[in-house]
Amino acid sequence: MLDQKKPVSLFSATILVIANMIGTGVFTTLGFQLAGVHLPFSAIMLWVVGGIVSFCGALSYGELGAMMPRSGGEYAYLTEIYHPAIGFLTGSVSILVGFGAPIALAAMALGQYSGVVFPGANQTVIAVAAIVFLTLVHLVDVQFGCRFQNIFTVGKILLIAAFIVAGFLMPYPQTIGLPESLGELGSVFNPDFAVGLVYVSFAYSGWNSSAYIAGEISKPERNLPISLFLGTLFVTICYVLLNLVFLLTVPAGELAGKIEIGYLSAKAIFGAGGVQLMTLLICLALISALSSMIMVGPRVASAMGEDIRGLGFLAARNKKGVPVRAIIIQSSVAILFALTSAFNVVLTYVGFTLTLFACMAVLGVFVLRFKKPCLKRPFKTWGYPVVPALYLVVNAWMLCYLVIQRPLPSAFCLMTVASLLVLYKWLTNRHSQSTLLLEEKR
């Protein structure tokens, strides 16, 4: 059914990448970066470097996605490149916490920001209601969900564009000077820059979103790579321009260590009414990001259900091609996180795990070029081997830093991987025993 007329166009796939990437991170993290790097130039360079690294990842995923146009993202890639057990690990992490925890976090943030518009409203109720409503939207039909996604994301983009234009039209902006010496230029490569890059990498997460729904994209061998790098390039430009506006409208010293960066800049541009405008913009960003995560996340569970007999119930789709059970299970996990606030525990290490699996996928570009050089590649990574190597080097630098500075989350990662490997072994043994019993009965 879906093979005859796939519901996701190039435009919708690109919008999905943009929606998943732009959340609250760009409006809240600059203050933490300035507390470390101090120089406005270094802060801007953080966002430039983060964008370049994400773009390298998008180009690498473009090659993998064009070769293996199946929904599931890293699960599909790592299963094919390495071993089904590795695919099971990344798929399980995505199902359990990779999407459920961020959905809960975004929903709780939406409840908090909505409190400005609806004073006295229960934030948890708003969060759960948002998850339920958006789940129902994506249970109806894939095309309907895409249209809803497109409308909210386009609205978010227009508001961001208006904010950027208004910021650059300010009559007396602050100045962002270039480094005056080699010493100041060297601040780009110090440990504080690495810390800031970790914050930036979280803000850029989601650049691989359309890879999770590759099987539902029309002409995926062409449109998947295009959606990945167009969406990532667009968001990179937006992020750099937004942070330029923040630094041009508010002195860097007043932003350092602050979380309400967007509010301070909006107040400087629009006066007292800027708070309401920024609240509306952030709420739109959160609804759009929530919708995209609720849409793409269940495709991982659905792909696993197609491959693993013990999880076959996750593969069920309705007449419109919607993986109903996978969506309901993911949203239930997100609601549980929102009600218990358990996402605060898992988010400390889930980022490490997901980055590790993304690096394994990008490494797969090298593995497949070596193992299967004659395999048809509708799209080849631009700048190979420099582009995927750059992605791997920068992320390895960040992962090493996280292991050194936060050994406990790293230990939790190893425990998670070990427990999931035991589960995979049990499922495969169960399948083997069932097959053997059927053969004996025959």
**For 73-98, what is each residue's pLDDT tens digit?**
899 999 999 998 899 988 888 887 78
CA 40 to CA 252: how far, in whole Å?
7
pLDDT at 135: 95
Inter-residue contact 311 to 302 (CB < 8 Å): no
- CA 61 centroid distance within chain: 14
| DSSP secondary structure code for residue 217 in this structure | B
Mean pLDDT score of the chain, rounded to an integer? 84
User: What string of DSSP letters covers 378-412?
Assistant: SS--TTTTHHHHHHHHHHHHHHHHHHHH-HHHHHH
Run of H or E residues at 37: helix 30-37
Tokens of 366: 């090298």
Tokens of 135: 């789940």
CA 30 to CA 78: how far, in whole Å?
34
> 318 by DSSP, 3-state: which?
coil
**Closest among 159, 184, 182 to 242, alpha carbons compared:** 159
Residue 368 has pLDDT above 90, yes or no: yes
What's the pTM value of the predicted model, to 2 decimals? 0.87
Cα angle: 144, vertex 132, 334; to 5 degrees: 115
**For 308-327, what is each residue's pLDDT tens digit?**
877 888 888 888 888 999 99
User: What string of DSSP letters covers 237-278?
Assistant: HHHHHHHHHHHHHS-HHHHTT-S-HHHHHHHHHHGGGHHHHH
Residue 66 has pLDDT above 50, yes or no: yes
Tell me which of 338 and 3 has the higher pLDDT.
338
| DSSP secondary structure code for residue 213 in this structure | G
Residue 279 has pLDDT above 70, yes or no: yes
**For 115-170, what is each residue's pLDDT tens digit?**
777 777 788 899 999 999 999 999 988 888 889 999 999 988 998 999 999 988 88
Mean per-residue pLDDT, 57-85: 92
Tokens of 173: 């902006």
Residue 284 has pLDDT above 80, yes or no: yes
Peptide bond into 40 cis (omega under 30): no
Domains of the chain: 10-420 (1.20.1740.10)
Residue 373 has pLDDT above 60, yes or no: yes
| Range among 21-25, 270-274, 283-287 rated most confident | 283-287
Q: Which residue do the tokens 């990344």 mark? A: 90
Cα angle: 134, vertex 298, 60; to 5 degrees: 115
| C-alpha distances out from residue 357 to 195, 215, 349, 392, Å | 21, 20, 13, 11
Q: How confident is the model at residue 1 (pLDDT cuts 50, 70, 90)?
A: very low
